[in-house]
Amino acid sequence: MKNHDRNSTGLFHKVAEKIRNLEAVAGVIGLGYVGLPLAAAMARSGFRTIGFDIDADKVSRLNKAESYIDAVTSEQLSDYIRKNLFRATCDSAELADCDVIIICVPTPLSKQREPDLSYIVLTARMIAKYLREGQLIVLESTTYPGTTEEVVKPILEEGGLLSGSDFYLAFSPEREDPGNAHFGTTTIPKVVAGDGPNASALAEAFYGAVVERVVMVSSPSTAEAVKITENIFRAVNIALVNELKVIYDAMGIDVWEVIDAAASKPFGYMPFYPGPGLGGHCIPIDPFYLTWKSREYGLSTRFIELAGEINLAMPQYVIASLERALDEHLSKSLGSAKVLIVGLAYKKNVSDIRESPSLALLKLMDQRGTSIGYFDPYVPKVPITRDHAALAGQHSIKLTPELVETYDAVIIATDHDNVDYDLLQRHSKLILDTRNAFGKRGYKSEKIIKT
């Protein structure tokens, strides 16, 4: 036993020294909106980094220094590749060469709105196949508290190696905010927790070499709860202002004016803004992970579930408002109208359409027989999505006065900055603005309806 402890101590110091000297080889599994910026940050810090992905086209593009993520430029990729600091591969056998392995795979919901951990489980099994002594494995995928220790750890230990002595396991939630010009991968504080003190120390040392600030917490479950809490906070507050929007609309009160005035209070208030629904890979999904886990303890999450119901209902509210506006202003039915949606991405100035409420709006109008089109400077073509496969392949229109004039109504679903709002204001018959894009730019007109 003493020899094992001595060997474990020696192994720990060997790994720590590799990290300290930037000699550790880092592997990132999943090269999407989270994984690729993280891999780039590791390469920038001086770690030789291998990116793993099952998509051969992505791997090929990355090795040609062609980035498909806004947060990482092709010029940056080219520099990392030239310095032998980054390359991508589909070959999982190369995991054996990595000293640090970061898991950045999706954690969607099933159709029953229950956690789908299949990507995490498959990835853990893939790592287990090549697991060796001294490796640090970090899960970054957002999930419910307990996943790292209850799901990932047993899979990794099946081969006989033990967490904390033979290999090291940690959790560090991703905090990417696509399109945020003020914060990026390296400037957002990184919450970290290991399975035991050695894993915590190694994870802190590794991330400390990559990002500006590391925030250590007591356990992986705590770190998992941090991420869930952050997204529940946003989901609940967005649901609150969405509900207030519906109420104030009925009263003839501008909810955006109310929020902006309330935000002048220097304490006890934080502004959140309404919209046509929730989108992205986190906020619409993550709260339900805690809802599912809480049932294990015989507890309900009524507040969280109510917020989810409100946010999920917003696309229907927008369509009802559109139907009413078409009838009152143009004497047209929704089924006979031609409608243009501006903004397919789930938030401004990004190309990410995951869980975008715009897709729900398109689907609802299609079901009613509406002739629809969309414009999004970041999404020239609708990619294949799991829940909206029928929309795949549609192309963004060119925003010209002649084309805009052919539509009966325009819905502003995403308030991208690089949209010609003046053109829309001059040539649209009717505008439903779900983001107050025109109000923020000083436009006032009877044909602009905030909804």
User: Which residues are tagged catalytic?
Assistant: 282
Output the CA torsion 21→26→32→34 (10° steps).
Answer: -50
Closest among 172, 201, 184, 190 to 101, alpha carbons compared: 172
Token pair 């003493």 is at which residue?
Answer: 2
Determine the 3-state secondary structure of 411 from DSSP: strand
Determine the 3-state secondary structure of 422 from DSSP: helix
List the structure tokens of 124.
């853990």
Contact assessment for residue 32 and residue 282, using Cβ atoms and an 8 Å cutoff? no
Contact assessment for residue 62 and residue 77, using Cβ atoms and an 8 Å cutoff? yes
Instruction: Give the β-pairing of 409-412 and 431-433.
Output: parallel
List the structure tokens of 431.
């505008």
Q: Percentages helix, strand, coil for the chain, rounded to the nearest 5?
A: 45, 15, 40
Determine the 3-state secondary structure of 64 from DSSP: coil
- Going through 86-189 in order, the beta strands assigned E by DSSP cover 86-89, 100-103, 136-139, 168-171
Contact assessment for residue 72 and residue 35, using Cβ atoms and an 8 Å cutoff? no
Write the CB contacts of 296 (distance below 8 Å, at least 6 apart in sequence): none
Q: How far apart are CA 368 and CA 294, in angstroms?
A: 38
Q: DSSP states of 268-323 as a string?
A: S-------S---SSSTTTHHHHHHHHHGGGT---HHHHHHHHHHHHHHHHHHHHHH
Q: How far apart are CA 445 and CA 451, in angstroms?
A: 14
